[in-house]
Amino acid sequence: MAGITGMRIPIQGKAGPLLVCEGLATGLSLHEAAGLTVVVAFAANNLEVVARMVRERYPKREIILAGDDDHATTGNPGASKARAAALAVGGKLALPVFTPRGSGTDFNDLHQAQGLEAVRTQVEATHPPESAVTAEASWPEPVPFETHTAPPLPVDGLPDWARDFVLAAAEQIQVAPCLVLVNVLGVVSACAARRFRVQVHEGYSEPLNLYLLAPAPPAERKSAAQAVCLAPLLDWERDQAESMRDKIKAAASRRKNQEAIISGLRGKLAKAKTEDRAALMTEVERLELELEEVPRSPRLVADDVTAEALAALMSDNGERMAVMSAEGGLFDTLGGRYQNGLPNLDLILKAHPGEPVRVDRKGGQPVMMHAPALTLCISPQPDVLASLPSKPGFRGRGLLARFAYVLPESRMGRRKPLGQAMPEHVSRAYAAALYELLGLDPGQRDEPLEHLLQLGPAAHDAWCEFASAIEVELVDGGQFETVQDWAGKLPGLAARLAGLLHVMKHLAEAPVHAVSGQTMEAALSLAGTMVGHALAAFGLMGADPDQETAKKELAWLKRAGVNRFTARDAHRAVRGTCPKAEQVRHGLAILEERAFIWQEAPSEVRKPGRAPSPTYVVNPKLWGPES
């Protein structure tokens, strides 16, 4: 130590605070990040000596001790010596903060791990050393935001062909498996609708069509996930259209001929004698009754459609249809179609349980359906989800309660440039299973009896136990107090999932077997996991915009690891989603109320020009002992 006492190397920079640090590499990183003059002291024990020398030469300059965080060394000499030096010269203290904590020791490590911007931000967020000693003990515990976990959906209960496809598609596209799973459930639901129904007990059964909602931000590859799942259904539609092409053309030709004959007879009516008109009119009526219906190739899937167009599509396709979209345009369409001051949601509401419905069409005959079966699988952006409760009737009439919610985990920032291609045998097995389901005869118009799936004794007992457990939590103060409308339909959702898993397992042989206890347990596991997703989704739908801003600011603080910042810093960090300064201020006020941050009193010395941005200190307890 004697050999280096007082030894120092200055690195000249711009006017402003003077930085004093231990090592040369650290000094170079600090200089490059902040552009300030840095004095390198070479050792922790030399920091105070050098700091006093700097203070003697520059009595009025601000001095910042940029210490090391020697967390693995007893007594943490880097931090303790820097703190003592700052106290000795009336300077400020800057210690590097890493995420996760303990992954480095000095500002050069921070430079390598998180870049120069992180170094600059943390240097600017310096504080008097006393706060480092006393802050954690004096700060109150932060009040955390209420959060609901949305754990991964289990795939173990799927048959091999479905599980292999979900995992392979997720790897190929680089998305969370549950984003693929929700689309697979939508596709299988589209195949099973009006083909199967699960009977829970005498007098109570459920159809197998699902309403699924999986919100995710842009760039999460929602469209790619949906496309790979939908591909076999679209191939099937094309196959059907091709096989029926000649039949459709021939029927259309015959109808044109019939219409031409009718047109010719109508032309004669105007010139016909009175005694001949009755016979001509009778002949026209007979021919019109005999007009050949031109067949249409079957459809399984539609995108965003109006209620009128959807009703026509369903009527033409055995009263069933699937609307699958990676956007939320359907909600805008439904929310904008009014009748007596409220959105006309009748078709969407009644096509979930399969109740009879009549849809009036402008300029056309009303569409009547006996047991419509609609499948919805929508992946809107989160802001679309948040807006749904504000649409009249969506919550009050039970539309939002009909959905199963899935919030896929984001993979952005962790995706591989090239995912592993799906093995051909996996995609073939997936397509073959769907084609086998589509080969079964579905119930037709005015034929409500689908293949009825029965629960085995073990499956029935497990379902009853699940339904009872849900029921007791519907009371005020229970787990589902705020989502009673949704949770009240959860046992029905579980039954539908059990029916779908049974169909996926047995395919064409599904009606022969009873739903097993094992299949029901897999369905209940899936439904139970969806509870966390639903609570999180309803939390987003009822979220306060200012609180959402506060959460984004808090996430930035955790990422950046700052312990001091200005309102302007926060605005720069979140302006992509919170462009207005007023939003940012409201969010910071909430963080202060919850004891995450504290606003420092403004300096009494005012400089000319724009008023300084408010400065905030971060509660040290935010990081926790090891976080």
21 torsion bin: left (phi>0), alpha (psi -120 to 50), beta (else): beta
According to DSSP, the residues that pair with 68 across neighbouring strands are none
pLDDT of residue 623: 65
Looking up residue 601, the CATH number of its domain turns out to be 1.10.10.10
When pLDDT is averaged across residues 231-258 and rounded to a whole number, the result is 92
226-230 long-range contacts, Cβ below 8 Å, gap at least 24? 226/183, 226/324, 226/325, 226/326, 226/377, 226/379, 228/169, 228/172, 228/173, 228/180, 228/422, 229/169, 229/180, 229/183, 229/184, 229/186, 229/187, 230/183, 230/187, 230/301, 230/324
When pLDDT is averaged across residues 268-296 and rounded to a whole number, the result is 86
Question: HEC profile for 533-597?
Answer: HHHHHHHHHCCCHHHHHHHHHHHHHHHHCCCEEEHHHHHHHHCCCCCCHHHHHHHHHHHHHCCCE
Task: Map tokens 């029905």 to a residue.
Answer: 492
Looking at 86, 111, 138, the residue that finishes a domain is 138
Calpha distance 596→144 (Å, rounded) = 9
3-class secondary-structure state, position 4? coil
Q: Above 70 in pLDDT, residue 163?
A: yes
Looking up residue 48, the CATH number of its domain turns out to be 3.40.1360.10
Calpha distance 286→562 (Å, rounded) = 85
Question: What angle do helix axes 567-574 and 581-593 make, rounded to 10 degrees?
Answer: 110
Q: How confident is the model at residue 133 (pLDDT cuts 50, 70, 90)?
A: very low
This prediction's pTM: 0.68
pLDDT of residue 135: 44
Contact 564, 601 (CB under 8 A): no
pLDDT of residue 13: 93
Distances, alpha carbon 117 to alpha carbons 72, 140, 215, 560, 584, in Å: 26, 30, 32, 9, 21
Q: How confident is the model at residue 27 (pLDDT cuts 50, 70, 90)?
A: very high
User: Is 24 part of any domain?
Assistant: yes
User: Is 572 part of any domain?
Assistant: yes
Q: For residue range 172-231, what is the model confidence (pLDDT) as tens digits?
A: 999 999 999 999 999 999 999 999 999 999 999 999 999 999 999 888 999 999 999 999
Q: How confident is the model at residue 334 (pLDDT cuts 50, 70, 90)?
A: confident
Question: Mean pLDDT, the chain, as a whole number?
Answer: 88
According to DSSP, the residues that pair with 198 across neighbouring strands are 206, 453
User: Is 279 part of any domain?
Assistant: no
DSSP H or E run through 306: none
Is 471 exposed, middle or buried (CB count within 10 Å of its CB: 0-12, 13-18, 19+)? middle
When pLDDT is averaged across residues 333-339 and rounded to a whole number, the result is 61
Q: For residue range 561-597, what is the model confidence (pLDDT) as tens digits?
A: 777 889 999 999 998 878 888 999 999 999 988 889 9
Q: For residue range 489-542, what is the model confidence (pLDDT) as tens digits?
A: 999 999 999 999 999 999 989 999 999 999 999 999 999 999 999 998 998 887
Looking at 138, 163, 185, the residue that finishes a domain is 138
Backbone torsions φ then ψ of 467, nearest 5 degrees: -60, -40
DSSP summary character for residue 318 = T
Mind giving me the DSSP string for 143-209?
-PPP----PPPP-TTS-HHHHHHHHHHHHHHT--HHHHHHHHHHHHHHHHTTTEEEEEETTEEEES-
Q: Are β-strands 367-369 and 196-201 bridged in parallel, bridged antiparallel, or unpaired?
A: unpaired
Calpha distance 142→203 (Å, rounded) = 53
pLDDT of residue 127: 66
pLDDT of residue 337: 53
Calpha distance 556→552 (Å, rounded) = 6
Calpha distance 181→187 (Å, rounded) = 10
Q: Name the residue among 411, 408, 410 with its Cα closest to residue 533.
A: 408
Q: Above 80 in pLDDT, residue 605?
A: no
The number of beta carbons lying within 10 Å of the beta carbon of residue 485 is: 18
When pLDDT is averaged across residues 227-254 and rounded to a whole number, the result is 93
Q: State the residue range of the domain holding 54.
A: 9-138
When pLDDT is averaged across residues 18-46 and rounded to a whole number, the result is 95
Q: Name the residue among 99, 107, 42 with its Cα closest to residue 69.
A: 107
DSSP summary character for residue 507 = G
Q: What is the dihedral of CA 495, 500, 503, 504, to 10 degrees?
A: -140
pLDDT of residue 610: 65
Residues 6+ apart with CB under 8 A from 34: 13, 19, 119, 120, 123, 124
Calpha distance 539→534 (Å, rounded) = 8
Q: Above 80 in pLDDT, residue 625?
A: no
Lookup: tokens for 609: 């020009």
Q: How many domains does the chain have?
A: 2
551 versus 434: which is more confidently predicted? 434
Peptide bond into 100 cis (omega under 30): yes
6 versus 38: which is more confidently predicted? 38
Backbone torsions φ then ψ of 232, nearest 5 degrees: -65, -35
The number of beta carbons lying within 10 Å of the beta carbon of residue 249 is: 11
Contact 513, 506 (CB under 8 A): yes
User: Is 607 part of any domain?
Assistant: yes
pLDDT of residue 604: 47
How far, in whole angstroms, is CA 267 from its chain's centroid? Answer: 62
Task: Map tokens 């939508």 to a residue.
Answer: 186
Lookup: tokens for 498: 């059990």
Looking at 138, 156, 178, the residue that finishes a domain is 138
Contact 434, 191 (CB under 8 A): yes
Q: Are β-strands 63-66 and 14-21 bridged in parallel, bridged antiparallel, or unpaired?
A: parallel
User: Is 39 part of any domain?
Assistant: yes
Lowest mean pLDDT across 263-272, 444-453, 469-478, 513-522: 444-453
Q: Above 60 in pLDDT, residue 607?
A: no
Contact 73, 105 (CB under 8 A): no
Q: For residue range 359-385, what is the model confidence (pLDDT) as tens digits?
A: 887 667 888 999 999 999 999 998 888
